[in-house]
Amino acid sequence: MTPDQYLLLKYSLGVLATIGLYSILYRETKLYRLTEHIFLGLAAGYSIVALWRETLKATWWDKMTGSWVEEAGAATDVIEGLGYWMYMFLLPIGLMGYFVFSRKHGWLSRIPIGMILGFWSGQQVMVWWTRWGPQIFGSMQPVVPTTLERFTVPSEAGMTAAQQAAVAANIYPSQALSNFIFVLTVLAAISYFFFSFEMKGKFLTGMNTLGRWLLMVGFGAIFGATVMARFALEIDRMAYIWLDWLTQLRIVLG
């Protein structure tokens, strides 16, 4: 088999896999089930290798045994990090989790599960602030302009460092207007989730209605982006068939 024929075979298998997966649009055919099982098998095998290379080896094995690197000109490998033998106790603790399949010794599986839940609960405080803290800080935007020299932010092209710092220190009317719309959106969206008391009055009911509409606009944008992502996958698959596969087929057939 020539290299061109081998490449055509590889592309043809990819085309068959694409047709098999997209056959679900017609109905759940045997071809779709076969393709799905092949995909799940490959994903499971890849996950095992990825689990070792990206997680266990880097965060457990290398730290326990020490990591060695090759250095140009050196007669032997150079140690990059010392090993810590205490990491060996993580292996039996982790293996205890598989006792969940034993009726007699199933209680042993609760030990690693309890440790994981404890560590996870402690980390969530930091994770929460790392994720939401910058968003809370970012929602506190100035809504009053500090200069009225011009409406929009001037271009910094050709400015000195001092002039650029002066531009960055000021809030121009266009920025203040954009920040006001942003803060209004945040407050309106939050007001929609006030369920502790009844919304009365034109101001509160108006903010509640505005928040509902803004949330609908946001969800619509999210759903629209999801549809576009699906179309991007479809376009990529069609490009694979009509460009890569057909081009290689034309090369082989001459």
Domain boundaries, the chain: 88-138
The amino acid that residue 62 corresponds to is D
Summarize pLDDT for 177-222 with one digit per residue, the tens: 999 998 888 888 888 887 777 777 888 888 888 889 999 998 999 9
Among 1-10, 70-79, 150-159, name the one with the lowest average pLDDT. 70-79
**Model confidence at 46: pLDDT above 90:** yes
What residue type is assigned to position 52 of the chain?
W
CB 35 within 8 A of CB 17: yes
What residues have CB less than 8 Å from 188, skipping those under 6 apart? Answer: 207, 208, 210, 211, 214
Output the average pLDDT for the chain: 85
Report the alpha-carbon distance of residue 18 to residue 242 in Å, rounded: 12
Summarize pLDDT for 104-125 with one digit per residue, the tens.
888 888 998 898 899 888 888 8
Q: What is the mean pLDDT of residues 86-96?
A: 86
Nearest to 210 by CA among 188, 243, 225: 188
From the number of C-beta atoms within 10 Å of its C-beta (0-12, 13-18, 19+), residue 8 rates as buried
The SS3 call for residue 78 is strand
DSSP state letters, 185-231 = HHHHHHHTT--SS---SHHHHHHHHHHHHHHHHHHHHHHHHHHHHHH
The C-alpha atoms of residue 127 and residue 139 are separated, in whole angstroms, by 19
Structural contact between residues 67 and 80, judged by C-beta atoms closer than 8 angstroms:
yes
Nearest to 142 by CA among 187, 185, 173: 173
Tokens linked to 164 = 């650029």
* Closest among 97, 95, 91 to 109, alpha carbons compared: 97
Name 68's bridge partners: 79
Mean pLDDT calculated for residue range 120-138: 87
Q: How many Cα atoms are found within 13 Å in the side-chain-facing hemisphere of 95?
A: 5
pLDDT at 81: 62
The C-alpha angle 27, 9, 14, rounded to 5 degrees, equals: 35
Q: Can you tell me which residue has the tokens 């997966």? A: 21
* Residue 8: predicted pLDDT: 87
pLDDT digits (tens, 9 = 90+) for 220-251: 999 999 999 989 988 998 998 888 888 888 88
Bridge partners of 78, per DSSP, are 69
Rounded Cα–Cα distance for residues 177 and 188 (Å): 16
